[in-house]
A and B are shown apart, each in its own frame.
Chain A
């Protein structure tokens, strides 16, 4: 059930777009209104989530550390694993964002014969995750070609590197194959490993199916059932220049592709996918470990009225003297 419900949700989305375009002639709805709405929801949603996180107090200084803290001058600090300055926090964050360093440390625990508990490095998830995210990013950047008149040079470079194997016409993009492979692997992993399957929810499967659907419809359009790409670009250029047009004769698979992407964009800020913004907002990763230098004030702290000893003595000095208790100020 946990896999079937999201699977059929994506199938229904596909059918919805097909029916809307083929039977209902809703090209304008699927080609213009929904994409605009989705982008608006995406941008507003991300800002909303980030502001909400930003307003949540962080009661304690809780950076995760896995190296020697800054200490006495003759003890060598591990600046990357236990950063005490903003610069090193940023360095650690950059490695995390670009190379998933914490996932790199993933280990597998196994009970072998004996019984013996063994730990081994497990890089598969890291590798598939890296392949998936980088492919996705490159594909996203490549699509800029549909949204710009006069495509800037870096996009050309990325594109020619991505297709340098020169297989077939149109040239095969390496990232297309990588993305499909990685999504399949990530899905298979969830289903195959009992421990991962147990903790997987429909909200974990849905984005996988959705992205799979997006990738498959894109690959179909590029390599198998061709669409009139010039008309497609007219549509996308209309969108980005706020002069929407619906050229005739774009086949419905393009609208399926666009609709699934719109769903992804709209769903993004309210799902686990928002870790794109969340990673920067995690206190365990974005705080420097400088608790010995800077006092972390808990924003929750209630402004307690403190009755100091001086005040106490002032209140009771006479009585203390009378009872023979020593006082600090005569």
Chain B
């Protein structure tokens, strides 16, 4: 190989970049998020009523979209009542509906969001429920 020194340096950089994710996670325990559902508000509900606004699978994937729709509906159309797929009514509110049940933001919302490294900017304005520092 001609110019072997320079080429090998280049290849080493390439190899390092291409395999960086593998090295970066070496020796780190892979913990999966475990959102806690044991808030007083949820525990008060009867076992069969311990349900979210929509089915769990839907919430897991689509809760941001749902929140966005709620926001638009309240702020733009002044429609504040949400009727879910089972016909149950909810007040469309981040703080007064979601966070009333999920009052453990740090152990619930943040559990997933930290894992995914997303930081919803909602809490710049909306007030997060008061929690004991843990």
Binding site for B on A (CB under 8 A): 39, 42-43, 46-47, 50-51, 54-58, 144-145, 147-151, 155-156, 166, 168-170, 226-230, 233-234, 237-238, 240-243, 249, 277, 280-281, 299
Stretch at the interface among B1-9, B47-55, B82-90, B100-108: B1-9
**Binary contact track B17-37/A, C-beta < 8 Å → 1, others 0:** 011011011101111110000
B46 close to A (CB within 8 Å): no
Q: 26 A-B pairs, CB-CB below 8 angstroms?
A: A39-B18, A43-B18, A47-B11, A47-B14, A50-B10, A51-B11, A54-B2, A54-B7, A58-B2, A147-B21, A147-B25, A169-B65, A169-B71, A170-B64, A228-B61, A230-B60, A230-B115, A234-B32, A238-B30, A240-B21, A240-B25, A241-B25, A241-B26, A241-B28, A243-B30, A249-B57
How many B residues touch the partner, as a band? 35 or more
Give Cα A150 to B115, complex, Å. Answer: 8
Neighbouring A residues of B18 by C-beta, 8 Å: 39, 42-43, 46
Neighbouring B residues of A233 by C-beta, 8 Å: 115-116
Give Cα A54 to B14, complex, Å. Answer: 15
Secondary structure of the A contact surface, majority rule:
helix
Query: Is B64 a contact partner of A228 (Cβ separation < 8 A)?
Result: no
Shortest CB-to-CB span from A135 to chain B, Å, is: 18
Neighbouring A residues of B123 by C-beta, 8 Å: none
Query: Is B121 a contact partner of A230 (Cβ separation < 8 A)?
Result: no
Give Cα A249 to B55, complex, Å. Answer: 14
Which residue of the partner chain, among B25, B71, B116, B119, contacts A230 with CB atoms under 8 Å?
B116
Neighbouring A residues of B7 by C-beta, 8 Å: 50-51, 54, 281
Closest 5 CB pairs of A and B: A151-B117, A147-B21, A169-B68, A54-B1, A226-B61
- Which residue in chain B gives the minimum CB-CB distance to A171? B121
Shortest CB-to-CB span from B77 to chain A, Å, is: 17
Q: Are A51 and B15 CB-contacts (below 8 A) given A169-B64, A237-B25, A249-B57?
A: no
Shortest CB-to-CB span from A317 to chain B, Å, is: 43
Neighbouring A residues of B24 by C-beta, 8 Å: 147-148, 240
B62 close to A (CB within 8 Å): yes
Neighbouring A residues of B10 by C-beta, 8 Å: 50, 280
Neighbouring B residues of A166 by C-beta, 8 Å: 121
Neighbouring A residues of B60 by C-beta, 8 Å: 228, 230
Neighbouring A residues of B2 by C-beta, 8 Å: 54-58, 299
Give Cα A225 to B3, complex, Å. Answer: 50
Give Cα A241 to B25, complex, Å. Answer: 6
Neighbouring A residues of B28 by C-beta, 8 Å: 149-150, 241
